Each structure stands twice: as C-alpha cells, then as structure tokens.
Chain A
Amino acid sequence: MRLFRSILVLAGLCTLSVAAIAEAPAIGAAAPDFQLTTIDGKSFSLSTEAKSHKAVVVMFISTQCPYSNAYNDRMRDMASAYASKGVLLVGINSNKTEDASTALSHAKAHGHSFPIMKDTGNKVADLYDAQHTPTVYVIDSQGKVRYEGRIDENYEDPAGVTSPDLKNALDALLAGKPVARTVTKAFGCSIKRV
C-alpha cells in the first residue's frame, strides 16, 4: 500500500511540458497547452482533451483554501452534469504548500472523479497568469479560451447564487452562442508559488 501510494505521489510530481508562453491568454486566443500526469497516474494533454471534447474547464484549485473548498460540491456536481454533454472539468493544484498525496486524499474525500494534476513549480499557473483559487478557464474544442474568472458570484451560499457565470459560459458554448460574459474577477486565496 505504501509502495502504491509512493508511486501515485511520484506520478503526481510529474514532468511538465509546456509551450513557452509568458503572458495570460486572452479571450479567443489559443489556450496555452500543457501535459501533466494526474494524481492517479494518468497522462493528460490539454490539446488532446480539447479536441475530443466540446469544452475543457481548467480549474485552479486548492485543498486548503476555504474559498476553493466552498466549491467542492459544485465542482463535483458540474463535472458530473456536464460530462454527458461533452465537457471535461479538470483541476490543477499549483500551490507549493500542497503535495500530490494531499490532493489525492482531498479528491477522494470530496468525490472529485475528474482529472486533477499537481502543477509542480506552478508552471501552468504562470502560463495562465492564474493568481487565485478557484479560478476557471473554459477552453473550446478549437483550443481557444472562451471564458475566464469565477465559478459564480457567491462562494458562501450555493443556494443563493444569482450569477452562475461558468455554467452560463458552458451553456452558451454548447448552444453555439456567444458567451455573454467572457471575463469575471476570480475571488479566492492567492496561489502559493515557488
């Protein structure tokens, strides 16, 4: 069991291959590609997954940040609800203070069955200029960024949400309509960088 866990941790601490892009992606621009290994040991390529899905939602998340954790159930439910519609949600943990083993335990505890990756050295966070958890980016099947920002406007009370911005963006994208609100301000904990 210990060996298995070590393998998983090592898999999480995977090598990263990214294009050398230094600035944040603009809406409509190509999303910076990246390849990582998920915390349960599978290969992940953004460009490959974008081509085989109608959209990929890249979510910068944390195991410790209360704002990010406030969205645990919403992330789980959205991943499940949109999977059948061809949308893949993925989690990126870029915090230097959180390791792959912790991320794996956290994912199991909260029913997160979507791919989660440890972004060692916060290289993917740098590519996206992601500053806070949670912050989400919607990538379409052409690999272009269609929405970035928050999941919704009410981290504290899911029942009180009046502006489900991520859902609105995905629904518009799936309906072949323009996303009405392409950028919102993410509110959360700072990503703890190296």
Chain B
Amino acid sequence: MIALLFVFGVRPTSAAAPSRLAGELDAAGFREVVAREKGHVVLVNFWATWCVPCREEFPSLSRLQERNRAAGLRVVGVSTDFEKQRKAVERFLAERRPPFPNYHRKKGGDDQDFIEAVDSSWGGELPFSVLYDRSGRKVRVFSGKLPIASAEREIRKLLASP
C-alpha cells in the first residue's frame, strides 16, 4: 500500500497523526486520497497558514468532523503553503490538532494539472472546499469560507444515502 502511495505521489509520513502532516500531494496523489475514502462522504478543504479566513474556519471544520465522524464523514485538509512555509504549517497543525488528516501540496508540477484534479473552476483562491459523496462523485465546491450550517445539512443528506 505504501509503495502504491509513492507511485501516486502521496508521500506519507511515518506518523500521520492529525497534528502532523500526513504527506505531500500532487495531482495524482490528490485523486488517490479521494479514491481511498470511497464509501465515506469526503470534504476536502484547501487552506494556507497565511490565509486569514482559512485559519478562522479551521475550528468549525474540526467540529464538523467530530459531529459527523461516526456517520461516515471524512474531512481532509490540504495546505497550499509554499515549501518554505512547511515549518509554519507543522506549527499550525501542532497547535490546532485537527481531528482530520492534513496534507501539503507537493512543490513543483504544473498548476493546471493540480487544478484539474481538484476542480476546473478553482483558481487557487482560499479557502476552497470540495464535497464528494460515498461513491467518490464530486457533489459541490465551495469557494471561500464554508457556509457551515447549509453545508452540514447537505453533508447529512449524503451521509444518509447508501
């Protein structure tokens, strides 16, 4: 499995605890992470330490995950901070200890490939979230802060579906 993750550009750390980075993602790695969660409803949130609204919404994402974990929600965070900001990302995660895994966008590669893997409408603005149903089908994207109440209603509808 670990070998497979390397093939797809996901580089897991030895201890992928929520307070640490779970690995690095390129376009293929991103698709692999989403595919791995098939069977769950998945909310991927793109953020950066320099992004104020991202930092502001982080606690609500943690609460969202905690409230809906048993029903099958999996929140996944992806930091788009630059490589030189990696220590800041690690500090942020160590402080916040989110109850969901967080990856770091892998340095290099073509931006357009990564955009297409996430959503063709995305232009890099943050925060940006993508919601997938249990079959791995993309259901919705959210540009800007997640409207938590309406998003949770939609998530619960998806969770109620087989």
Chain A residues close to B by CB (< 8 Å): 66-67, 70, 131-132, 150, 153-157, 160, 162-163, 184-190
A-B CB proximity, top 5 nearest: A190-B125, A187-B124, A187-B111, A153-B110, A132-B123
User: In the bound complex, how far is the Cα of B124 from the Cα of A185, in angstroms?
Assistant: 10
Q: Are B123 and A186 in contact (CB under 8 A)?
A: yes
B82 and A66 within 8 A (CB) = yes
Are B111 and A157 in contact, with the CB atoms below 8 A? no
Closest to A185 in B: B112
Given A66-B82, A155-B111, 10 further pairs, Cβ under 8 A: A66-B48, A67-B124, A154-B110, A156-B82, A184-B112, A187-B115, A187-B123, A189-B124, A189-B125, A190-B123
Tell me the chain B residues, 108-124 only, with Cβ under 8 Å from chain A: 108-112, 115, 120, 123-124
Check A185 against B111 for contact (C-beta < 8 Å): yes
Residues of B within 8 A of A67 (CB): 124
SS class, residues of chain B in contact with chain A = loop
Q: Evaluate whether A185 and B107 lie within 8 angstroms (CB atoms) in the complex, with A67-B124, A156-B83 already known.
A: no
In the docked arrangement, what's the CA distance between A132 and B123, Å? 7
Q: Mark B76-119, 1 if CB is under 8 A from A, else 0.
A: 00000011000000000000000000000001111110010000
Complex-state Cα separation, A157 to B82, whole angstroms = 9
Cross-chain contact B110 with A163 (CB below 8 angstroms):
yes
- Tell me if B6 is interfacial: C-beta within 8 Å of chain A: no
Q: Which single residue of chain A is at the shortest CB-CB distance from B123? A: A132
Contact residue among A132, A153, A185 (Cβ-Cβ distance under 8 Å from B125): A132
Q: What residue in chain B is nearest A133 (Cβ atoms)?
A: B124
Contact partners of B111 in chain A: CB under 8 A:
150, 153-155, 185, 187
A-B contact pairs, 28 of them (CB 8 A): A66-B48, A66-B82, A67-B124, A131-B123, A131-B125, A150-B111, A153-B110, A153-B111, A154-B111, A156-B82, A156-B107, A162-B110, A185-B111, A185-B115, A185-B120, A185-B123, A186-B123, A186-B124, A187-B111, A187-B112, A187-B115, A187-B123, A187-B124, A188-B123, A189-B125, A189-B126, A190-B125, A190-B143
